[in-house]
Amino acid sequence: MNYSADIPVRGTYDVVVVGAGPAGIGAAVTSARLGRKTLLVEKYGYPGGVGTYGCCTIFFRFGEHGRQLVSGLAEEVIRRMDARGAASLTINDGCGMPEFRRIGDRPLLGKVITKTEDLRVVYHDILSESGVEKLFYSHLCGVIRDGRRVRGIVVDSLEGPGIIESKVFVDASGDAHLVHRAGGRTEQAAADETMHKSVFFMVSGVTPHDPQVNIKRYQELFKAGAVPDKFWNHLGYSYQLDPGIVQLAFAYANGDACSSADMTRMDHELRDRNFEAVEFMKREMVGYEHCFPVNSAQQVCVRSSRHICGVTKLTEELLAKDELPPAPLMYIVRSYGSHSTDQKKGFAPAKRGTLGGFSAIPYGALIPVEFDNVLASGRCISVDECVMDTIRMMTTCMVTGQAAGIAASIAIAGDLSEMTEVPYGDLRQGLLNMHCILD
């Protein structure tokens, strides 16, 4: 696409990151902390991505099998959230309603529940304190490409369109928008071969009850075909830190996450279905008799969509190997598959498995094949669809973001012309310096 000379150049940076989800925050904070002039572009007005616009408040996969896998910026976020009373471990010791515990100096080995509104502010604070320039309410709408390099991006801000130039660009848009618009190769599974889409929401007014009673009742109703169509085969709920508020998450839709028309259709369907869910809960579940909806995801939330084609692709075969992939950035569990598109056939698709032990995300999965100065991070890196579940959690996405920020910084410092030239030893040391776990 050609852009008119009338569009003004709004700024020139060392590193421009598109998308302020966990991956983009990881990339931008890390790059800025390493002294690079960094801009973070986001279409919403606040940071956090799916986590904060989608009512997805739980940080999963800090650890697995009793071993901590993720630290770095993700742990820093949780420690700050804990200090303001907005993060907690959940413990359900048979008491019915779960018990929430401040984290204190306990290690992060499992899941942590956070308060969404606090998370937005903590992310904002960390970005500002790190020296990241934030350009929110601004939509990436075009890319200026010069052979194997991206020279600039076109951003539609409240002031109007502007061009932003940079030495390195990080695509943390979740849907590989930057690489796609630059004409780079991407991959996307068919709508019925990828994970379903959701609009999570919160209800308030829930009274103390035994969740096991509801789980059992839901299973009976599901078996009897007495739950509404397109409801999961298990009751999806998660207690929030504020009493009486529960996140409900068991309506699903299938469609193309990169089609505005399909996303609009799913938005309508899912919001309708959520009202059905409220009525269902009031009618059938103990403790929910007087519940009412209070908050919902800002848009249809997408687990997996378009991915870059990377120099290395994390495949099922690579995951199954006993040795680690080349240039590992972080450890991941060797499980794959989740969130079938047809929930009536079961929560897990046929291609689900757990191999035990650990694998790792290779640096090459962040490097799009056609570009010398672009990296991807987060859920749009180069992976097989069925291994998405190992890489898509907020914790994991934040680490791949940090890796992108470090690699960009090394490339700039060394005047390297290609992201593939970044010495792995330096990248690894950079991750260790940022308290990431690679031992």
Query: Exactly one of 97, 103, 130, 139 binds ligand FAD (CB under 6 A); which one?
Result: 139
Q: Work out whether 23 is an interface residue with ligand FAD (CB under 6 A).
A: yes
Q: Considering beta carbons, is residue 236 or 430 the nearer one to ligand FAD?
A: 236
* The residue type at 147: G
How far is residue 154's CA from residue 161's CA, in Å, rounded to a whole number?
A: 7
Q: What residues have CB less than 8 Å from 32, skipping those under 6 apart?
A: 38, 130, 131, 132, 405
How far is residue 26's CA from residue 242's CA, in Å, rounded to a whole number?
A: 28
Q: Work out whether 54 is an interface residue with ligand FAD (CB under 6 A).
A: yes
Using the contact rule CB under 6 A, the part of the chain among 158-166, 171-179, 229-237, 419-427 near ligand FAD is 171-179
The secondary structure of residue 18, as a DSSP letter, is E
Judged by DSSP in three states, 22 sits in: helix
Q: Considering beta carbons, is residue 312 or 395 the nearer one to ligand FAD?
A: 395
Judge contact between 431 and 329, C-beta under 8 A.
yes
Q: What residues have CB less than 8 Å from 260, skipping those under 6 apart?
A: none
CB of 27 to ligand FAD, least distance (A): 9
Tokens found for residue 13: 């940076």
Q: Considering beta carbons, is residue 214 or 400 the nearer one to ligand FAD?
A: 400
Residue count, binding to ligand FAD (CB under 6 A):
36
Q: Considering beta carbons, is residue 193 or 426 the nearer one to ligand FAD?
A: 193
Judge contact between 25 and 398, C-beta under 8 A.
yes
How far is residue 116's CA from residue 122's CA, in Å, rounded to a whole number?
A: 10
What is the per-residue binding string for ligand FAD in 295-334, x denoting contact by CB under 6 A? Answer: ------xxx-------------------------------
Q: Work out whether 62 is an interface residue with ligand FAD (CB under 6 A).
A: no
Query: Exactly one of 58, 263, 278, 355 binds ligand FAD (CB under 6 A); which one?
Result: 58
- In sign, the C-alpha dihedral spanning 187, 357, 172, 379 is positive
Which residues does residue 295 pair with via DSSP β-bridges, in sequence order? 202
DSSP state letters, 290-309: T-EEEEE-SS-B-SS-EEE-
Q: Considering beta carbons, is residue 60 or 423 the nearer one to ligand FAD?
A: 60
CB of 20 to ligand FAD, least distance (A): 5
Query: Exactly one of 15, 24, 168, 329 binds ligand FAD (CB under 6 A); which one?
Result: 24
Using the contact rule CB under 6 A, the part of the chain among 55-63, 282-290, 342-350, 356-364 near ligand FAD is 55-63
Residues that bind ligand FAD (CB under 6 A): 18-24, 41-44, 49-51, 54, 56, 58-60, 139-140, 172-174, 177, 198, 200, 301-303, 378-379, 392-394, 397
